[in-house]
Structure 1
Amino acid sequence: MSEPTTQWHRDAQTAALQVAFGVAAELHDQARLEGGAPALPDPDQVAQALDLARRVLFAEIYSGARPCAEGLAGCCHEFYERVVRLLVAEWTAAPGRELGQRGEPYPERLLDPAQTAASAHETALSVLEALPGLRVALEADVQAALDGDPAARSRAEIILCYPGFYAIATYRLAHVLWLAGAPLLARMMAEHAHHRTGIDLHPGAGIGPALFIDHGTGVVVGETAVLGARCRLYQGVTLGARSIPKGDAMRSRKRHPTLEDEVTIYANATILGGDVVIGKGAIIGGNTWVTNSVPAGARMRIDVAARVAEAVVMVPDGAQPE
């Protein structure tokens, strides 16, 4: 890296840190003057941050032309500022509201404005640095949709029109923030996608590359679920937990199933339990209820026609059934 470029990078880092300090001081002062806890992250700001992230990740789609470096840099800077503001809002407001009471509490050091600002700055920069890797991961998700849906005509159609891809893209960004210690912001992002698509992907789940969610409405993937590479889910699929008594220690343990690579789950199937593993290449048919592990390569289905035939009582014409 040349000396001018290095100096520009240092200047940009300094300016970014000043933004973080300004936001933190503003929110702390606001809380002190109003005599209460600072405001939590604004859902509208969350939606705007997601929109900016999409424009950075797929600039060639959203810009309508070859993106210029200046325009992309502007989007990155605006995205950084949004993320800083949202992180500071969460880390400033959440401890006082006991939002970290289940699981890991928020660090006490985040109660200090300067340390909150520095942490938000570092985290927002790490999110920016993660975007190229997210782009690579999302390209695999786009390709999975192209390979899995004969109706898909182009990358642009999938990126702009497919609710499953929208939910996956949002999940992948939210997962970065979840791992960075911003669970509320991560959940708000995931719930924005849930509201828009009907697909509920918890940001704490571990989802491998090249996921395809077809149609998508009603899909639920729980917090501790793990999905391997090249899995395919159809509408109404639930990867959930069994009922847990209030206060049960299971809240901190794995509660949701694991799918190994190349598993296909058809519509309205329900798979429950943290000890359930669906083996590589298995296919789970529609409307099935699974609470035990399934071996690799297995095919599981319900023969609805046979069950209906067994239940039907044939009655001669004109006779009354008993």
Structure 2
Amino acid sequence: MDQKAIIEKIKQHKKQPNLRFALKERVELFTNQLFYTLFDIDTPVDENLEALKVDFEVLAKLACWECEKPCNKIWNGYLESLPGVLESLNLDAEAIVECDPASMSIEEVYLAYPGFYAIAIYRLSHELHKAGFPLVPRLMTEYAHSKTGVDINPGAKIGKSFFIDHATGVVIGESAVIKDNVKIYQGVTLGALYVAKDLKQTKRHPTIEDNVTIYANATILGGETVIGANSIIGGNAWVTESVPPNSKVFHSPEIKIKTEING
């Protein structure tokens, strides 16, 4: 097969007319610029917001291939949401400082904590998700996922003063609900019991009430599963049923000691 034939074959199999990887790259630039605008003291807010507006218009053209959906009109509403998002993120940072004895300063949280970064990009993407802006919110959280190891779907609903410690391996599904003052540790999964496509419009992921702590590598599954307020879920626990308020759930490992007698 000559090169011309190979090229034609490749063109035949490029079946997605709206698949532009420039969108992914532009989202990553937009996300970085947005983060700096909100937090970096040397970044001028007024100038950057104007630049972000221009970038957003480019994203709208790349992401919105359905002309009847005026994505470029979403920017004004998104801009109005940013002060509230920043207020929530400052509460998240303060919760990390208060809860983590290893934190030396709040600046360290903003600069060095992957859990905070993942929460920040989630909150920024969630506002676009609520507005129905296609694909961009998911690309934002996937960018944070690649940098932190934390996978938070932009459709999840997360309350105030959220704390993710150590971060790596955390998964929070699309219909998960997390209320106020919740702490989770590395490897925690808030997932679905079933993954059938026809369940897309149903609540598949758990609800975590106020003041719950979930320790490392715990797995909580199911849309009807509710972890009651003030509960503690121990490390490596597997939970698929609701837990009443003020509960403690622990995984009890089976320990076998190897000896010469029993092999």
TM-score calculated relative to the size of structure 1: 0.73
**Which of residues 149, 167, 170 in structure 2 aligns to 1:198?**
149
Partner amino acid for 2:207?
T
Partner amino acid for 1:51?
N
Q: CA deviation at 1:78?
A: 0.7
- The SS at the match of 2:64 is helix
Alpha-carbon separation, structure 2, partners of 1:320 and 1:232: 45
Q: CA deviation at 1:320?
A: 3.8
Instruction: Please list the CA deviations of residues 81-104 of structure 1 after superposition, one character each: whole Å capped at 9, or x if unmatched.
Output: 112211221112xx4xxxxxxxxx
- Residues 40, 89 of structure 1: 8 Å contact kept: no
- Residues 209, 228 of structure 1: 8 Å contact kept: yes
- Residues 190, 200 of structure 1: 8 Å contact kept: yes
- Which residue of structure 1 aligns with residue 31 of structure 2? 50
Alpha-carbon separation, structure 1, partners of 2:133 and 2:162: 24
Partner amino acid for 1:109?
E
Q: Which moved more, 1:38-47 or 1:134-143?
A: 38-47
- Residues 145, 212 of structure 1: 8 Å contact kept: yes
**Structure 2 residue 169 is matched with structure 1 residue 218:** yes
**Structure 2 residue 114 is matched with structure 1 residue 141:** no
Alpha-carbon separation, structure 2, partners of 1:81 and 1:154: 35
Alpha-carbon separation, structure 1, partners of 2:18 and 2:232: 50
- Residues 238, 251 of structure 2: 8 Å contact kept: no
Q: 1:272 to 1:256 in 2, by over 3 A?
A: same
- The SS at the match of 1:252 is coil
Q: CA deviation at 1:37?
A: 4.4
Instruction: Please list the CA deviations of residues 231-270 of structure 1 after superposition, one character each: whole Å capped at 9, or x if unmatched.
Output: 001000000001333x43x221000000001111000000
- The SS at the match of 2:144 is helix
**Number of matched residues?**
247
- The SS at the match of 1:239 is strand
- The SS at the match of 1:139 is helix
Instruction: Please list the CA deviations of residues 46-75 of structure 1 after superposition, one character each: whole Å capped at 9, or x if unmatched.
Output: 111111111221132xx1xxx6xxx32111
Larger CA Rg, structure 1 vs 2? 1
- Residues 38, 45 of structure 2: 8 Å contact kept: no
4+ residue runs over 4 A deviation: none
Partner amino acid for 2:74?
T
- The SS at the match of 2:135 is helix
**C-alpha root-mean-square deviation of aligned residues, in Å?**
1.8
**Which of residues 207, 215, 220 in structure 2 aligns to 1:258?**
207
- Residues 38, 89 of structure 1: 8 Å contact kept: no
- The SS at the match of 1:213 is strand
Higher helix share: 1
Q: 1:213 to 1:37 in 2, by over 3 A?
A: closer
- Which residue of structure 1 aligns with residue 235 of structure 2? 286
- Residues 188, 219 of structure 2: 8 Å contact kept: yes
Q: CA deviation at 1:303?
A: 2.9
**Structure 2 residue 90 is matched with structure 1 residue 109:** no
Alpha-carbon separation, structure 2, partners of 1:219 and 1:37: 31
- Which residue of structure 2 aligns with residue 179 of structure 1? 130
Q: CA deviation at 1:171?
A: 0.2
- Which residue of structure 1 aligns with residue 159 of structure 2? 208
Q: Mapping of 1:149-188 within 5 angstroms?
A: 149-188=100-139
Partner amino acid for 1:279?
G
Alpha-carbon separation, structure 2, partners of 1:38 and 1:303: 48
Partner amino acid for 1:81?
V
Partner amino acid for 1:48?
L
Q: 1:183 to 1:264 in 2, by over 3 A?
A: farther
- Which residue of structure 2 aligns with residue 9 of structure 1? none
Alpha-carbon separation, structure 1, partners of 2:241 and 2:215: 17
Alpha-carbon separation, structure 1, partners of 2:19 and 2:37: 30
Alpha-carbon separation, structure 2, partners of 1:183 and 1:42: 11
Runs of 5+ in structure 2 lacking a partner?
A: 1-16
Runs of 5+ in structure 1 lacking a partner?
A: 1-35, 96-107, 111-115
- Percentage identity across paired residues of the two chains: 41
**Structure 2 residue 54 is matched with structure 1 residue 87:** no
TM-score calculated relative to the size of structure 2: 0.89
**Which of residues 224, 246, 258 in structure 2 aligns to 1:275?**
224
Partner amino acid for 1:271?
I
